[in-house]
């Protein structure tokens, strides 16, 4: 089975929510819709499900035009951010409910519920009601109900967003196994780059209703086509600085001049924007920067998560950067530091914000 969006656009109250998107999804694949809030992720899912009709363009299933066909006539299951279960029914009956609606025989219902419960590790909880479950167990129940339906297309719209950290990590680790075992087409929406990387599959990078880049998740992360894709696929946000390359030197915005080495060596003379993720930025005591690409900076705030420290910096009082360091680093606001770049470990974008150089994989 395949599902295709063919040049679809959707306009709501005069505002385009989807802008000329074309995608093809194949059976047994996982596609991650990655983008900020209001980037079009849920709108894409609603078009795939048949809940909405595109303003222009077509939706195809195995090459057959199904544009406008009601969701009830499609083989689709959807799991939302707000997990939805029937509170008066047991976990078993919640999972079995779509099979009962389909009129399946008792033996088949028991078999398929048992398989879904085993897959999602819900076997000890089948006699409980949803209110007797943790948030993670309730969301597993909602996912199990979607899987047991046997739908060809399973849509998960930020299904872990309302769970606490521990539960999110537990389910994130399990979902790739569940996807592989199911064999359906899965589409998973998230705002978090780390979640896309953990899930793998393909990533569809969304921004303002456009699918900016589609490809294998590690490839999109390592070689973003544009600066905007790189920004969407970076959390904390990607740091950016403008440069001008002339001969064997580069001049950074703010006055720092350095040799045109690393990735800068192969650039034609001209102006560029350099992007680097927070973990690519090194820090040293003020005046002791070991690299030649070092920038005087001032600490504004330090956030310590335990395993990492997020150090927020300002350059010249106008440019804000973030560095992510392993371990605990107790910098105080106002501390002076040298922020250091490795010119071989940055992303370089041209005047049109197209990628022209990137770190080796």
For 36-63, what is the mean pLDDT?
95
Share of the chain above pLDDT 90, in %: 72
Q: Does residue 225 carry a pLDDT above 70?
A: yes
Q: What is the predicted pLDDT for the residue at 261?
A: 94
Q: Range with the lowest mean pLDDT among 133-147, 230-244, 283-297?
A: 283-297
Write down which residue in 174, 195, 227 finishes a domain: 227
CATH of the domain at 314: 2.40.50.140
Terminal alpha carbon distance of the chain: 33
Write down which residue in 187, 203, 227 finishes a domain: 227
**Residue 321 maps to a domain:** yes
For 244-250, what is the mean pLDDT?
96
- Both 243 and 223 in one domain: the answer is no
The torsion region of residue 126 among left (phi > 0), alpha (psi -120 to 50) and beta comes to: alpha
Query: Total structural domains in the chain?
Result: 2
**Residue 233 maps to a domain:** no
* Residue range of the domain that includes 333: 239-357
Q: Does residue 226 carry a pLDDT above 70?
A: yes
For 317-339, what is the mean pLDDT?
92
Res. 319 pLDDT band, cuts 50 70 90? confident
Q: Does residue 317 carry a pLDDT above 80?
A: no
Q: What is the predicted pLDDT for the residue at 285?
A: 87
Cα 56 to Cα 67: distance, rounded to the nearest angstrom: 10
- Residue with the bigger pLDDT between 19 and 315: it is 19
Helix H, strand E, coil C: the string for the chain is CEEEEEEEEEEECCEEEEEEEEEEEECCCEEEEECCCCCCHHHHHHHHHCCCCCCEEEEEECCEECCCCCHHHCCEEEECCCCCCCCCCCHHHHHHHHHHHCCCCHHHHHHHHHHHHHHCCCHHHCCCCHHHCCHHHHHHHHHHHHHHCCCCEEEEECCCCCCCHHHHHHHHHHHHHHHHHHCCEEEEEECCHHHHHHHCCEEEEEECCEEEEEEEHHHHHHCCCEHHHHHHCCCCCCEEEEEEEECCEEEECCCCEEECCHHHHHCCCEEEEEEECHHHCEEEECCCCCCCCEEEEEEEEEEECCCEEEEEEEECCCEEEEEEEECCCCCCCCCEEEEECCCCCCEEECCCCEEEECCCC
Cα 209 to Cα 191: distance, rounded to the nearest angstrom: 14
**Residue 154 maps to a domain:** yes
pLDDT digits (tens, 9 = 90+) for 83-127: 788 999 999 999 999 999 989 999 999 999 998 898 888 999 999
- The sheet carrying 347-349 orders its strands as 257-259, 249-252, 239-246, 270-276, 347-349, 355-357
Q: 197: Cβ–Cβ under 8 A, 6 or more apart, which residues? A: 217, 218, 221
- Both 93 and 213 in one domain: the answer is yes
**Residue 167 maps to a domain:** yes
- Both 69 and 160 in one domain: the answer is yes
Report the largest interatomic distance among the alpha carbons of the chain, rounded to a whole angstrom: 77
- Residue with the bigger pLDDT between 236 and 176: it is 236
- Both 179 and 309 in one domain: the answer is no
Q: Tokens at residue 211, please? A: 């699918």
- Both 48 and 164 in one domain: the answer is yes
Q: What is the predicted pLDDT for the residue at 68?
A: 86
**Residue 232 maps to a domain:** no
- Both 184 and 110 in one domain: the answer is yes
Q: What is the predicted pLDDT for the residue at 290?
A: 60
Q: What is the predicted pLDDT for the residue at 166?
A: 76
Q: 178: Cβ–Cβ under 8 A, 6 or more apart, which residues? A: 119, 120, 143, 147
CATH of the domain at 106: 3.40.50.300
**Residue 346 maps to a domain:** yes
- Both 182 and 270 in one domain: the answer is no
**Residue 99 maps to a domain:** yes
For 177-195, what is the mean pLDDT?
88
Q: Does residue 64 carry a pLDDT above 70?
A: yes
- Taking a C-beta distance cutoff of 8 angstroms, is the pair 214, 205 a contact? yes
Cα 302 to Cα 317: distance, rounded to the nearest angstrom: 17
Q: Average per-residue pLDDT in the chain?
A: 91
Q: What is the predicted pLDDT for the residue at 291?
A: 59
- Both 259 and 293 in one domain: the answer is yes
């Amino acid at each position: 089975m395949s599902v295709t969006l063919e040049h679809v656009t959707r306009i709501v109250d005069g505002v385009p929510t989807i802008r000329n998107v074309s995608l093809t999804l194949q059976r047994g694949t996982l596609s991650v819709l990655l983008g900020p809030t209001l980037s079009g992720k849920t709108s894409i899912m609603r078009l795939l499900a048949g809940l909405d009709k595109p303003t222009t363009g077509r939706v195809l299933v195995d090459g057959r035009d199904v544009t406008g066909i009601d969701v009830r006539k499609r083989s689709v299951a959807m799991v939302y951010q707000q997990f939805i279960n029937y509170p008066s029914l047991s976990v078993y009956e919640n999972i079995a409910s779509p099979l009962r609606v389909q009129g399946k025989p008792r033996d088949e219902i028991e078999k398929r519920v048992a398989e879904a419960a085993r897959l999602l590790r819900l076997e000890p909880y089948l006699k409980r009601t949803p209110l007797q479950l943790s948030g993670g167990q309730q969301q597993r129940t909602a996912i199990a109900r979607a899987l047991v339906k046997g739908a060809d297309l399973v849509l998960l719209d930020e299904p872990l967003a309302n769970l606490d950290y521990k539960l999110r990590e537990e389910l994130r680790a399990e979902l790739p196994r569940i996807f592989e075992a199911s064999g359906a087409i899965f589409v998973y929406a998230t705002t978090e780059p780390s979640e896309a990387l953990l899930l793998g599959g393909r990533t569809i990078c969304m921004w303002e209703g456009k699918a900016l880049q589609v490809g294998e998740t590690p490839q999109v992360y390592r070689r973003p086509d544009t600066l905007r894709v790189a920004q969407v696929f970076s959390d904390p946000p990607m740091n950016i600085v403008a440069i001008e390359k002339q001969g064997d030197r580069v001049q950074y915005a703010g006055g720092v001049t350095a040799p045109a080495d690393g990735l800068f060596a192969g650039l034609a003379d001209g102006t560029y924007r350099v992007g680097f993720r927070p973990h690519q930025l090194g820090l040293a005591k003020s005046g002791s920067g070991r690299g030649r690409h070092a920038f005087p900076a001032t600490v504004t705030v330090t956030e310590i998560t335990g395993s990492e420290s997020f150090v927020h910096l300002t350059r010249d009082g106008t440019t804000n950067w973030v560095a992510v360091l392993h371990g605990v680093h107790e910098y105080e606001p106002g501390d002076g530091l040298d922020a250091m770049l490795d010119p071989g470990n940055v992303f370089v974008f041209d005047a049109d914000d197209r990628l022209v150089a990137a770190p080796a994989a």
